[in-house]
Structure formats: structure tokens, C-alpha cells
Amino acid sequence: MSQYRGLKQRAWECNMELPKRNLVLYTFGNISAYDKDKGVFAIKPSGIPYEELKPEHMVVVDLDYKTVEGKLRPSSDTKTHAVLYRNFPGIGGVAHTHAPYSVAWAQAKKAVPIFGTTHADHCTHDIPCTPVMNDKEIKGDYEEETGNLICRTFKTLSYIEVEMALVACHGPFTWGKTPEKAVYNAVVAEELAKMALWTITIDPKTTRLKKTLINKHYQRKHGGNAYYGQM
Ligand SMILES: [Zn+2]
């Protein structure tokens, strides 16, 4: 029996969460689950519709993009996932969707402003948007450069406090300590993008949430003295 069976099952379950949450159509999107000890991740195969997807279809790849197990071609975004695992130590999953509200902000090349406490509950900053990739990078190793672009955007930002990013002209990538958290963050990012759009539609001059409220909401969920939810 494959030593990656559990990892593939987990990656499959997380991928199947995307259509369930209305975050993807057709073959859009992909999720991977990382096994740090083995240095490999299981990812959705390229171009297989979700209705046909099975756990055994998941492709196991190492951080040098080599397929370790699986007959199908891994997702075309595999290199982006690998770059994030290499650069963001401690993350255990990456999710990518073309969910429409997140994509709308990415296409407008704008960060999603932190307007309210729902945003602050999950993330201490605007959801950043990368710069548009230059032509040399586009013609080069495009998917690897997509990962590099995200990493450069996080030079001055904590990937632990902000587990989501928009790639300009493309869409959201999210991550988390576990693949389940990466999916959760994809759902949250879409909801925050939707809320922010409606907010500026009602009042384009809306200002960002003030620091004290950001800190209060983030800390009560994530700080050392967190008291949100059940202990
Ligand atoms: Zn994409």
C-alpha cells in the first residue's frame, strides 16, 4: 500500500471542499496537502473535473517538482505551491481558486482593504495584491515566478498573520498550517473580498478599520490570551 495514501485522501477531501463551497467551476482551482517530514505534497491532477476526481488521482510531488507518485500530470500550478512550501516554513496546505470576488480585486490590481472586524478576525492587514508580473518572468518559468511574486510581496508582511494573497490579474492563493486551514482561508478571502466590494459600493470613501479594533479582534482569536471559541 502507498505510504502517501493518507496524504492523498486529505488532499482529495480538501479539493472536494471547493465546489461544495461554490468557489470553483469546471476544473478551476487546486489544493495541495504537504507532508513536511517526507518533503512532499499531494496535489490535484491537471484538468480533471471535480465530479470525476478520486483520492487515487492525487499526484505526489517533491519540492523540486518531481512526481514521486501518481500517473496523472499534476496541476499546472504545482510549482507555485512548491515555492510557497519552500519559503513559508510551517505551512501545511495551499489553496488556489478563481472565486469571482477575489478575482475581481486581483484583476483591479488592488489589495482588499481591511474595513471591518470580520477581516480583522482572520488577518491583520489588507489582503495584499502582488504587482503585475513582468514579461521576462511571464515568458520564463511562469508558475515558479508566480510563487516568487507572492514571496516578494511578503518580504515586509507576516505570512502567519496574513495567510492569503491576490496575484494581480489572476486570483487568490491562500495557505495555512493545515490543508483544511488553507481551504478555510480561501472561503474567508472570498467573503472578505465580497464584503469589501459592497462596502465601497455603498461608500467609496470608507476608511480602514482603526488599529485598536484590528488588534482587539485579531488578538482575541489568535493572541496569547485568546478567548474566542471554546477552550
Ligand atoms: Zn489560476
Say if CB 196 and CB 125 are below 8 A apart. no
Spacing, Cα 177 to ligand 1 middle (Å): 22
**For residue 95, which of 166, 167, 179, 171 has the smallest C-alpha distance?**
179
Q: Could you say which of 35, 62, 121, 141 is catalytic?
A: 121
Using pLDDT thresholds of 50, 70 and 90, give the confidence band for residue 37. Answer: very high
Quick check: 219 pLDDT over 90? no
Q: What are 112-166's pLDDT values in tens digits?
A: 999 999 999 999 999 999 999 999 999 999 999 999 999 999 999 999 999 999 9
121 classed as catalytic: yes
pLDDT at residue 2 in the model:
87
Spacing, Cα 172 to ligand 1 middle (Å): 8
Spacing, Cα 95 to ligand 1 middle (Å): 10
Spacing, Cα 28 to ligand 1 middle (Å): 7
228 classed as catalytic: yes
Q: What are 70-125's pLDDT values in tens digits?
A: 999 999 999 999 999 999 999 999 999 999 999 999 999 999 999 999 999 999 99
Spacing, Cα 141 to ligand 1 middle (Å): 15
Quick check: 46 pLDDT over 70? yes
Spacing, Cα 222 to ligand 1 middle (Å): 30
C-alpha cell at 42: 499531494
Using pLDDT thresholds of 50, 70 and 90, give the confidence band for residue 231. Answer: low
Sheet with strand 93-96: strands edge to edge: 67-69, 59-62, 40-43, 30-35, 93-96, 171-176, 164-167
Say if CB 137 and CB 170 are below 8 A apart. no
Using pLDDT thresholds of 50, 70 and 90, give the confidence band for residue 12. Answer: very high
Quick check: 224 pLDDT over 80? no
pLDDT at residue 230 in the model:
63
Provide the whole-model pTM: 0.93
Share of the chain above pLDDT 70, in %: 98
